[in-house]
A and B are shown apart, each in its own frame.
Chain A
Amino acid sequence: MSYQPSATLDAETHDAISVDRSKGDFTFPERNKLDAGRGLTDKTVDYICNVKNDPPWLREFRHKALKVFLEKPMPTHWASKDLENINFDEIRYYLSDGEKPKRSWDDVPDDIKRTFDRLGIPQQERAFLAGVEAQYDSEAAYSNVKDELTKQGVIFVNSTEGLHQHEEVFRPWFGKVIPTSDNKFSALNSAVFSGGSFIYIPKGVKLKQPLQAYFRINSENFGQFERTLIIADEGAELMYMEGCTAPKFETATLHSAVVELVALKGAKIQYVTVQNWSSNVFNLVTKRGLAMEDAEVRWIDCNIGSRLTIKYPGVIMKGRRARGEVISIALANTGQHQDTGAKMIHAADETTSNIVSKSISVGKGRATYRGQVHIPKHLKGCKNNTECDALLINTNSRTDTYPAITVKGNRHSTQHEASVSQVSEDMLFYLMQRGLNQGQAMSLAVNGFINDLVREFPMEYSVELKRLIDLEMEGSVG
């Protein structure tokens, strides 16, 4: 692109960025009473087990997972070599303020409260949330489930509380959708996880309000390994929303979550993520849902931040007529690689999956789509639709598409469409001739490109998304 911003635009752009970035870029003095130290050994695992008072079965589970993690090679034979820049010995695998999760806002320590005030959590709760689980470092600092939900038998706690207090529900499904050995990072998470949510929605309970959790990192070199398990019992319905922003640090930070969803017969789970980690975070996440008969799992996923994200939300359609869907938006700016996609495993007749992925590469940013659709021969009446569109903003931006659609047998229907486009100079000229500066013109074009997907996000998120994209675009032309 040959458009050069004028001096005034530059100053405006700069202002816009510095003002808004401050929202994710603040930190308070570390106040961690417990710290497992740097590096990862059996001792680290024991330390975590002791602090968290883990039952013996979990201690064994963690040690086994550590072994798997150490044995598994880095997946650099297909994934980015940038993974080799993670120094596992320099990472601290557990730290906590050593306090129990708070039930009431008044009991939350002041510095944490200020952090969440800046994020606007209390206001949002009042506005539309049914319950809030917000994670500060390893442990949830604030946890509240509205009385109404409790009365309906809904469980919404952190994962530690879940396994201690609801073991009969938690344990049968824990690690079943995503086994420890699924990949190197699911093994890592299984060894050292703390935090994350456990949610159980009883039979037939349909939540009208979304449940929401905020995750933040607040300690240098601290890897965050939350573990979330959501079970929707027969006919239950829920939407879960997860948004991430992180303070910026100079050394790389590792975030490696495991999220398992279980939708029993006729249940519906929608899991919404807006990922906006600072651009030094390695975000290596495994997310998968299990959909039983007539059940539906939808992943609505937006990745804007991080240095490297590797994430392919998946759905195993295990019951007849189960449905799986992944709606994915990725924005990769200079210094970022968004390696995202979807996995759809058809394991029953008449199952339906849909993947819609849109990526935007800005500057030297790189966006990769990897998709896997698997329909075995013995099944019939399965359907898959895959659409992936990429938008390149600059000539040195990069996008790659690796769709792997394995369909055996001839009783199925699949459809695949892919496109790569650019914001044309003609379009920019047109928009700027109407008075929009280059940044505004770019962000209007980009927002237009993803507009149909943004509509899938809840209202609050779509507004936030638009704002984030405005900022990224204004920065991209500076």
Chain B
Amino acid sequence: MSLHIHDLRATLEDGTEILKGVTLDIPKGEVHAIMGPNGSGKSTLSKVIAGHEGYLVTGGSVTLDGQDIFSMSIDERSRAGIFLAFQYPSEVPGVSNANFIRAALQARLPQGEELDAVAYYHRLYAKMDLLEIDRKFTARSVNEGFSGGEKKRNEVLQLMMLEPLYGILDETDSGLDIDALKIVAKGVNAMRAPHRGFLLITHYQRLLDYIKPDYVHVMAEGRIVRSGGPELAHELEKDGYEFLKDLAPA
């Protein structure tokens, strides 16, 4: 059982091809990292999996435990277990964080069933404590006026609350200082489990010092061009993406 991406191709609305045949299998229990230069298609991959309508899937498939996710709406994919931690999370004015996360959890319950409010807050506070988030945070509007670090911690908090089968983290490390990065990593590491997989999308090796991946893939020009173990990340850190020039197909 896994998240299986096969020969995935996708274009922008104007027809520009961004993903040019991506194949990747992420079994549960594993953490995969995708690295690559800007514009390689890393973030697009995460958005296409989540169902962003700005992209058109032109070929290939993505299945979650054998089920075709392209037949599901954005919210159905989410409820089926796909979670995307956004690089730039939206602000939702007037909606408190506590109500937002509660609504997301409520949406996962069968019709007519109400979320137990006491148990909910108990769990929310426990996760917030782990991520060193102030209690006042619950009453603040979602991401409104948040610092970069607060936004990312909020994404990880939601990940922890929603307990997805797969967490996709889109450049969660960007714009974080080292302390915030450690906290975010602590949250993700606490969620690692045999029944859960992760896809980390990052530009830098730094994140992988704190969240140890099982596999590292390098993406360039819409394809995965190299795969290897954690040592590949260090290699990239040392030598940069220069080698890609040699690999690029004519």
Chain A interfacial positions (CB closer than 8 Å to B): 2-3, 5-6, 9, 424-427, 429-438, 440-441, 444-445, 447-452
| B75/A432 in contact, CB under 8 A | yes
Interface of B: prevailing SS: mixed
| B78/A434 in contact, CB under 8 A | yes
Bitwise, B88-126 to A at CB < 8 A (1) or not (0) is 011111110001100110011000000000000000000
Count the B residues whose beta carbon is within 8 Å of the partner chain — how many?
A: 32
B83, B84, B103, B141: the one within 8 Å of A440 (CB): B103
Q: List 20 A-B contacts (CB under 8 A).
A: A9-B73, A429-B52, A429-B53, A429-B90, A430-B89, A430-B92, A431-B90, A432-B51, A432-B73, A433-B78, A433-B84, A433-B86, A435-B78, A435-B79, A435-B108, A438-B75, A440-B103, A444-B99, A448-B92, A449-B93
**In the complex, chain B residues whose CB is within 8 Å of the CB of A3:** 53
| A430/B73 in contact, CB under 8 A | no
Q: With an 8 A cutoff between CB atoms, is B208 at the interface?
A: no
The minimal Cβ–Cβ distance linking A13 to chain B, given in whole angstroms, is 13
**6 cross-chain pairs, A with B, having the tightest CB-CB distances, nearest first:** A448-B94, A451-B94, A448-B95, A430-B90, A432-B74, A434-B104
Bitwise, B43-59 to A at CB < 8 A (1) or not (0) is 00000001111100000
| A437/B107 in contact, CB under 8 A | yes
**In the complex, chain A residues whose CB is within 8 Å of the CB of B95:** 444-445, 447-448, 451
Chain B interfacial positions (CB closer than 8 Å to A): 50-54, 72-79, 83-84, 86, 89-95, 99-100, 103-104, 107-108, 141, 158, 162
**In the complex, chain B residues whose CB is within 8 Å of the CB of A424:** 90
| A6/B92 in contact, CB under 8 A | no
| A440/B107 in contact, CB under 8 A | yes
> Taking A2-B53, A430-B86 as contacts, is the C-beta distance between A449 and B94 under 8 angstroms?
yes
| B93/A6 in contact, CB under 8 A | no
Residue among A2, A9, A431 with the highest chain B CB neighbour number at 10 A: A431
B79, B84, B103: the one within 8 Å of A444 (CB): B103
| A452/B94 in contact, CB under 8 A | yes
Given contacts A429-B74, A430-B89, 9 further A-B contacts (CB under 8 A): A6-B72, A432-B75, A432-B78, A433-B83, A434-B107, A435-B78, A435-B104, A435-B107, A449-B93
Q: How distant is the Cα of A154 from the Cα of B156 in the complex, in angstroms?
A: 57
Closest to B74 in A: A432
